[in-house]
């Protein structure tokens, strides 16, 4: 078994929605980022990479690389899930906490869980999405941005297989064809 944790922050900027867990959530602001700014997925990617001791999201997708400009973060998650499979691990469970005053996360948590589970090739019941405010304290409390924490546990459930870096549809096909309980 391997454990990993991840943390990310993005500041609010211009816009009228935020991407969180692959869900487009209407809001009074957007998130400033090189990619789509999905702070939930970035924290989850870092937790997966941390569990595998493979560095961090910026090592795999440098924020200076124009290829990742405005890219949807589910691409990054599929890549990390493929690395997990390549190294012979499956997700036991993931537990995520989103920290912000607004937007409210509760109404969107189930849709986020479904997206994240689909991208990691696991059951929705293995992915938890929680939220909290910081009681108006600190940068999240002042409404300056969103923070997210992720913890994952990986189980060695299958032999390692070779995975070539690939486009999102190919990564999705790879994740889908590996049964969660295989
Ligand atoms: N952005 C958020 C923040 C919180 N929630 C939900 O509200 C509950 C109470 O939050 P406190 O910070 O006052 O403890 C929390 O447990 C979440 O269920 C939310 O949906 N979105
Ligand atoms: C996701 C990446 C992609 O270039 O950029 P950002 O969207 O700015 O997000 P951040 O969490 O600051 O950095 C990680 C980068 O890999």
Prediction ipTM score: 0.91
Q: Is the CB of 18 under 6 A from ligand 1?
A: no
In the prediction, which pLDDT does 157 show? 76
In the prediction, which pLDDT does 163 show? 59
Cα(63) to ligand 2 centroid in Å equals 5
Q: Is the CB of 146 under 6 A from ligand 1?
A: no
Q: Of the candidates 12, 13, 89, which has an alpha carbon nearest to the alpha carbon of residue 49?
A: 89
pLDDT at 162 over 60: yes
Enter the pTM of the model.
0.91
150 within a domain of the structure (yes/no) = yes
Q: Which residue has the higher pLDDT, 137 or 170?
A: 137
182 within a domain of the structure (yes/no) = no
In the prediction, which pLDDT does 180 show? 46
In the prediction, which pLDDT does 97 show? 99
Residues spanned by the domain of 56: 2-177
In the prediction, which pLDDT does 141 show? 98
CATH code of the domain covering residue 53: 3.30.1330.50
132 assigned binding-site residue: yes
pLDDT at 179 over 70: no
pLDDT in tens, 90-142: 999 999 999 999 999 999 999 999 999 999 999 999 999 999 999 999 999 99
151 within a domain of the structure (yes/no) = yes
Cα(151) to ligand 1 centroid in Å equals 19
112 within a domain of the structure (yes/no) = yes
Q: Indicate the number of domains in the chain.
A: 1
In the prediction, which pLDDT does 158 show? 63
95 within a domain of the structure (yes/no) = yes
Report the residue among 23, 26, 99, 106 best suited for mutation to probe ligand 1: largest number of ligand atoms under 8 A from its CB.
106
Cα(40) to ligand 2 centroid in Å equals 12
127 assigned binding-site residue: no
Q: Which residue has the higher pLDDT, 34 or 164?
A: 34
Cα(23) to ligand 1 centroid in Å equals 18
Q: How far apart are CA 168 and CA 75, in angstroms?
A: 6
pLDDT in tens, 20-77: 999 999 999 999 999 999 999 999 999 999 999 999 999 999 999 999 999 999 999 9
Residues contacting 107, CB < 8 A, separation 6+: none
């Amino acid at each position: 078994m391997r454990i990993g944790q991840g943390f990310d922050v993005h500041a609010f900027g211009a816009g009228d929605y935020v991407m969180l867990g692959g869900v487009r959530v209407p809001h009074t602001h957007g998130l400033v980022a090189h990619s789509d700014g999905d702070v939930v997925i970035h924290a989850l990617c870092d937790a997966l990479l941390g569990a595998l001791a493979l560095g961090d999201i910026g090592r795999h997708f440098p924020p200076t690389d124009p290829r990742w400009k405005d890219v949807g973060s589910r691409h990054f998650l599929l890549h990390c899930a493929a690395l997990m499979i390549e190294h012979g691990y499956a997700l036991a469970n993931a537990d995520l906490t989103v920290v912000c005053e607004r937007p409210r996360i509760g109404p969107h948590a189930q849709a986020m869980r479904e997206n994240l589970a689909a991208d990691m090739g696991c059951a929705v019941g293995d992915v938890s999405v929680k939220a909290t405010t910081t009681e108006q304290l600190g940068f999240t409390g002042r409404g300056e941005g969103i923070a997210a924490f992720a913890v994952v546990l990986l189980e060695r459930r299958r032999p390692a297989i070779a995975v070539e870096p690939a486009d999102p549809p190919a990564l999705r096909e790879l994740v889908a064809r590996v049964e969660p309980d295989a």
